[in-house]
Amino acid sequence: MTINSAGAVGKQPLTLSWINVAFFGTFHALAILAPWCFSWSALGVMIFLHWLFGSIGICLGYHRLLTHRSLQVPKWLEYGLAIVGALAMQGGPIFWVAGHRLHHAHTEDPDKDPYSSQRGFWWSHMLWIFYPRAEFFEEQHYKRFAPELYRDPFYRWLNRNFLPLQIPVGVLLYALGGWSFVIYGVFLRAVVLWHTTWFINSAAHLRGYRSFQLKDNSRNLWWAAILTYGEGWHNNHHAHPNVAKAGYSWWEVDMTWWAIKTLQTLGLAKKVVMPPTSKASS
């Protein structure tokens, strides 16, 4: 199955990846088993891992640290945060960082932004994964946009081996709580975390308020910020991408920022980039 590249008349049509459809479809199908495997402890495991892999791994590790270099941490901690990010199953660090840097460099461009909202809600939410373009998904192409990570053998290894890391996670969860923990801690957690992250690409470019009048349509969306531990203050972020703090006003709760402040207090985070003085709040 193919579709035409929206906004790119005459360019090669996009081809549906049945491998990606099968992979994500299987996880969604297994996540549906959650009501039959319910326990409060399993739900607690899912919520904890959603926070750990989402806020600490993706938001802090992949996004604010590796992509934008909004802070500096010791190399051992940087590697640890990258591993936690890889456990979220949103791709390896080089893939994720390269794609997000392209998103900022060419925000909403229908051809250069991997998940451009100009192609519509469902494209920016998930169809960009089901119709993968070589320049965004093949390592020989996207590595150019995260060259410092690609030079590091550890990040090259992690970029190619992030999926097998789910095996020890699944084994540990099974040992702790059986299949209930596996369904909630691996499959339901992955599905919920995928969609909450994808809402930043889709919903946060369509709904919400704007504190900064930018050329793109990024928005501050309160419910997306709650689901993503602060990433939903997306208009703030697009105005100052290299700032470690996403919430600028007192009501803009940013749980990932709390984690960064904790690291800073412990002396583990240095050179933390702050918002312009007029926009920063404690």
> In this predicted model, what pLDDT tens digit does every residue of 17-63 receive, in sequence order?
999 999 999 999 999 999 999 999 999 999 999 999 999 999 999 99
pLDDT average, residue stretch 59-69: 98
**Which residues sit opposite 74 in a β-bridge?**
none
Helix, strand and coil percent figures for the chain, each rounded to 5: 60, 5, 35
Percentage of the chain modeled with pLDDT above 90: 93
Distances in Å between the alpha carbon of 181 and those of 6, 25, 38, 186, 193? 41, 20, 9, 8, 16
| pLDDT at residue 282, as a whole number | 40
Question: 6 pLDDT exceeds 70?
Answer: no
- The residues with which 270 forms a beta bridge, in sequence order, are 72
pLDDT at 74: 98
* Average pLDDT for 197-215: 95
Smallest CA-to-CA distance from 253 within 274, 281, 275 is with 281
- Rounded Cα distance between 239 and 278, Å, is 14
- Split at pLDDT 50, 70, 90, the class of 281 is very low
Flag whether pLDDT at 209 surpasses 90.
yes
Supply the pLDDT for residue 55: 98
Tell me: the pLDDT tens digits for 140-198? 999 999 999 999 999 999 999 999 999 999 999 999 999 999 999 999 999 999 999 99
For residue 279, is pLDDT > 70?
no
Give CA–CA dist 166/96, Å, rounded. Answer: 18
User: For residue 277, what pLDDT is reported?
Assistant: 73
Strand ranges (E), the chain: 2-3, 14-15
CA distance 179 to 90: 23
pLDDT of residue 8: 42
pTM above 0.85, yes or no: yes
- Contact 92/98 with Cβ under 8 angstroms? no
What's the pLDDT tens digit per position in 110-150? 999 999 999 999 999 999 999 999 999 999 999 999 999 99
Q: Is a pLDDT exceeding 70 seen at residue 4?
A: no
Q: Is residue 13 very low, low, confident or very high in pLDDT (cuts 50, 70, 90)?
A: confident
Please give the helix or strand (H or E) that residue 234 lies within, else none: helix 234-239
Q: Specify whether the CB–CB gap between 248 and 235 falls below 8 A.
A: no
Angle between helices 18-31 and 189-201 in degrees, nearest 10: 120
Both tokens of 169, joined, read 């996670």
Q: Is 147 exposed, middle or buried (0-12, 13-18, 19+ CB in 10 A)?
A: exposed
Token pair, residue 249, equals: 């006003």
> Would you state the pLDDT for residue 11?
61
What average pLDDT score do residues 69-85 get? 98
Give residue-wise pLDDT tens across range 219-249. 999 999 999 999 999 999 999 999 999 999 9
Amino acid at position 272, single letter: V
Here the tokens at position 233 are: 């203050």
